[in-house]
């Protein structure tokens, strides 16, 4: 039986907390900042914890050894 491998793209985009939640970068910060409010830009700095339903998919399919 072959080994379960971690998806290379997922390694670069997600990481797990100690309790198993998934951390990802904030969405909506690549371009088009002129049309976003300053408040929105400020709130999207750094990373965020994904919703539980999305986190389950990431852990199961893309980070099986995580």
pLDDT digits (tens, 9 = 90+) for 1-43: 899 999 999 999 999 999 999 999 999 999 999 999 999 999 9
Distance CA 64, CA 28 (A): 27
**Nearest-angstrom CA–CA distance, 64 and 54:** 14
Q: What is the pTM of this model?
A: 0.84
What integer pLDDT is reported at residue 66 of this predicted model?
A: 83
For the chain, which residues make up each domain, given as ranges? Answer: 8-62
At 64, is the pLDDT very low, low, confident or very high (cuts 50, 70, 90)? very high
Pick the CATH number of 8-62 from 2.40.170.20, 4.10.410.60, 3.40.605.10, 3.10.450.50: 4.10.410.60
Q: Give the Cα separation of 36 and 34 in Å (integer).
A: 6
> How buried is residue 47: exposed, middle or buried, by Cβ count under 10 Å (0-12/13-18/19+)?
exposed
Token representation of residue 11: 């390694």
């Amino acid at each position: 039986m072959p080994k379960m491998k971690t998806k290379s793209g997922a390694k670069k985009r997600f990481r797990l907390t100690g309790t198993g939640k998934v951390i990802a970068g904030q969405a909506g910060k690549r371009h088009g900042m002129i049309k976003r409010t300053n408040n929105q830009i400020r709130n999207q700095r750094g990373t965020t914890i994904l919703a539980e339903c999305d986190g389950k998919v990431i852990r199961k399919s893309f980070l099986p050894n995580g």
